[in-house]
Structure 1
Amino acid sequence: MSKGPARRKVGIVGFGHLGRYLVQRLQDEGSQHGLELAFVWNRDVQKLQGQVPTSLQLQDLCGFPECNVDLVVEVAHPCITQDYGEAFLASADFMVGSPTALADQATETRLREAAQRGGHTLYVPRGALWGGEDIQRMDNCGTLQGLKVTMIKHPDSFRLESELRERLQAARGQRAVLYEGPVRALCPLAPNNVNTMAAACMAASSLGFDGVQGCLITDPGLPDWHVVEVEVTGPAHEHRDQAFTVTSSRRNPASPGAVTGAATFPSFWCSLLACQGHGGHVRLC
């Protein structure tokens, strides 16, 4: 008797709020989509106890090739992509849930080359980015001239490093601009907060992390919302002092103090479902 088509095996790296969500969806609905949970890894393995069957707990991430997965999904920390991204792409497709890791030029180059070399796809989930495919299409056509992403959150929703943390404290509960400039310099200062900006940089590859502009704003008047504004600039009119522009504003409900907004969870699930293997290149999903 035929067993039917093989299921696509998925490994989840990270078991925070987003990792738990994806694991649960895979366990509940994976078979409906031709997917099977193959392993779950977390830095603190104790958090997996009672939540993930022992047979699916991966103790050593270096041993992931033995699980024979088709797709690895990282929802842990940028350092995972920097340390293991090449190895993942050597034997599987890889969805990088922390694309701020790609702000490191060497890491981005290594992963692009690894995808080509192994014939696997490096997937970048859009997360909270609205209009990513349109941005990418303009970029591919050579009509994208400028891109700016502004993120506005309550002070408690930020996880910042170094001088940005000091600027947040100095704001003293007032609305303030914490950063405005190229996204590349921002990513290591706010690795958990600006993955949307990093996704925009990958969609707009001609501009990249140096050309895409990012603006980070703290606003105590937004206790339960994350706002993402995207400003796209296209070519100027041939005979007038005008340029094509598109501006969008996305308001994502969020629990007070949450780093990730509510709508981002199902967005990641949809991105995972789109990771069906597209060959050795980078693809927004």
Structure 2
Amino acid sequence: MSGGQKKRRVGIVGYGHLGQYLVKQLRDNGVQHGLELAFVWNRDARKLEGTVPLELRLAKLTNVLDWHADIIVEVAHPCIAQEHGESFLKAADFMVGSPTALADVGTEQKLREAARRAGHTLYIPSGALWGGQDIQRLDRGGMLQALTVTMAKHPDSFRLGGHLGELAKGARQKRVVLYKGPVRQLCPLAPNNVNTMAAACMAAPSLGFDGVQGCLIADPVLSNHHVVETEVTGLGGFSVHTRRKNPAASGAVTGEATFAAFWSSLLVCQGHGGQVFLC
């Protein structure tokens, strides 16, 4: 980076495993990429003590405009984008680490319009989605006909309640299909577990959350990795099937390779002006 180039200031919203990883990357390697940490927010501020300096702790998300971030990265919970996404986009570019929030029609429309009005970009990180840009190009060319994303994890890697939670508990001895159908219905049932599917829906707006199909599987054999498969069908007999094996600690919601993927996505966020951009 040249000496006169302005660093892009990054605000991190959420300080779980992924938030901690991104903060460390920004503090250790941000300068060489033209990035610096603007602030960190966490619902439980006590978690920041001893690791985040007081001057970098954002107390209230409603005060985000005062911190002059160039990009705000949410890695907390879908409700953050739903409740604060518009105000974030007024202040800065916004990377939605929990794109399951966009399965709510009103939230997606509201954030798309906020980005357009403010001239800021709504970034969607690819996460564990392999070939997202290829899906996006196929969709833009009017060639995409169908898309299915299958995610399989150990039962302990899910954070589920209700009926799906009970099904997952029953998957201790054998593989169980928890859900199969449109992604829109699945997102509110498994908001922390299917962000990869939501990213696929944003990559393929002609199909969207109603047209992209999701299959969620609990498999007791997968003790140290997650599996994500995509099946893409296009015009003229075109098809692609990918299978991604993502190493993951026992019981981890997020696979290890996804951490590095998020950092790579952040490096892409250099301002694309008033649009939705898969990174």
Taking structure 1 as the reference length, the TM-score comes to 0.96
Contact 1:26–1:35 (Cα < 8 Å) also in 2: yes
Contact 1:45–1:59 (Cα < 8 Å) also in 2: yes
C-alpha distance in 1 between matches for 2:3 and 2:144: 48
C-alpha distance in 2 between matches for 1:228 and 1:25: 26
Deviations 1:249-271 (A, max 9, x none): 00000000000000000000000
Residue in 1 aligned with 2:19?
Answer: 19
Residue in 1 aligned with 2:218?
Answer: 218
- Would you say 1:262 and 2:276 are equivalent positions? no
Deviations 1:170-214 (A, max 9, x none): 344310100000000000111111000000000000000000000
Residue in 2 aligned with 1:106?
Answer: 106
Contact 1:129–1:200 (Cα < 8 Å) also in 2: yes
Residue in 2 aligned with 1:272?
Answer: 266
AA aligned opposite 1:275: C
1:87-166 equivalences in 2 (<5 Å):
87-166=87-166
Residue in 2 aligned with 1:239?
Answer: none
C-alpha distance in 1 between matches for 2:172 and 2:8: 49
C-alpha distance in 1 between matches for 2:182 and 2:68: 39
Contact 1:149–1:213 (Cα < 8 Å) also in 2: yes
Contact 1:94–1:123 (Cα < 8 Å) also in 2: yes
Give the Å deviation of 1:91.
1.6
Query: CA-atom RMSD, angstroms?
Result: 1.0
- In structure 1, runs of 5+ residues without a counterpart are 237-242
Contact 2:154–2:222 (Cα < 8 Å) also in 1: yes
Residue in 2 aligned with 1:240?
Answer: none
Deviates more, 1:31-40 or 1:169-178: 169-178
Residue in 2 aligned with 1:48?
Answer: 48
C-alpha distance in 1 between matches for 2:162 and 2:84: 26
AA aligned opposite 1:160: L
C-alpha distance in 1 between matches for 2:85 and 2:5: 28
Contact 2:78–2:98 (Cα < 8 Å) also in 1: yes
* Structure 2 residue matching 1:279: 3-state secondary structure: coil
Give the Å deviation of 1:161.
2.6
Residue in 2 aligned with 1:248?
Answer: 242
Contact 2:172–2:220 (Cα < 8 Å) also in 1: no
Q: Which has the larger radius of gyration?
A: 1
Contact 1:151–1:228 (Cα < 8 Å) also in 2: yes
Contact 2:64–2:91 (Cα < 8 Å) also in 1: no
Contact 1:155–1:173 (Cα < 8 Å) also in 2: no
AA aligned opposite 2:8: R
Give the Å deviation of 1:7.
0.7
* Cα distance, 1:153–1:231 mapped onto 2, change above 3 Å: same
How many residues align structurally? 278
Residue in 1 aligned with 2:174?
Answer: 174
Residue in 2 aligned with 1:194?
Answer: 194
Residue in 2 aligned with 1:59?
Answer: 59
Deviations 1:109-165 (A, max 9, x none): 000000000000000000000000000000000000000000010000011132111
* Cα distance, 1:21–1:145 mapped onto 2, change above 3 Å: same
- In structure 2, runs of 5+ residues without a counterpart are none
Identity fraction in percent: 68
C-alpha distance in 1 between matches for 2:78 and 2:174: 30
